[in-house]
Copies of this chain bind each other. A is one copy, B any other.
Amino acid sequence: MIGLRDVTNDPIVPADCADLLDKPIVAHLATVRPDGTPQSNVMWFGWDGSRIRMSFTTKRQKLRNVQREPQVALTLVDPESPYRFLEVRGSVESVEPDEAVRFYKSLQERYSMPLPIKDGDERIIVTIRPHTYLTMAGRAPQPSEN
């Protein structure tokens, strides 16, 4: 069991969890729906060392959620150790067209899943600027307590 003092709350990526952002693992994205209730989605993401990028389409609920409430949170778990995980809080900084579906194709490559793309004209890039990283990696084998 751990106390809150064991939870780090950093403006930079904790070194012991940085690899989770580099790996092609799925992120669990929490957004807030227009009625104020939460939504959780399993998502691919890209990471360039300072921003998290995801591919939405113009037709999905998630986009409407972040247009109204740009603050998001996401959790990443090491697939090989469920007690090594990272929570990222941040805000949607931009929503842009995915020109020539280049970004989505880069995600397909990152996740080794190059499938035919049927909704390329609806694909958009959602860029998240993290402001807080929470982790307990290496501290205690215990799910999140914050």
A→B interface (CB under 8 Å): 1, 3-4, 25-26, 28-32, 36-44, 57, 59-62, 69, 71-75, 77, 79, 82, 85, 87, 89, 113, 115-119, 141-146
Name which residue of chain B comes closest to A120, CB basis.
Answer: B1
Nearest CB in chain B to that of A85: its residue: B42
Say how far A143's CB is from chain B's closest CB, in angstroms.
5
Choose from B43, B59, B144 the contact partner of A144 (Cβ within 8 Å). B43
Q: Is the CB of A74 within 8 A of B40?
A: yes
A82-B1 contact in complex given A72-B38, A73-B38, C-beta closer than 8 Å = no
The one of B41, B59, B143 that contacts A41, using a Cβ cutoff of 8 Å? B143
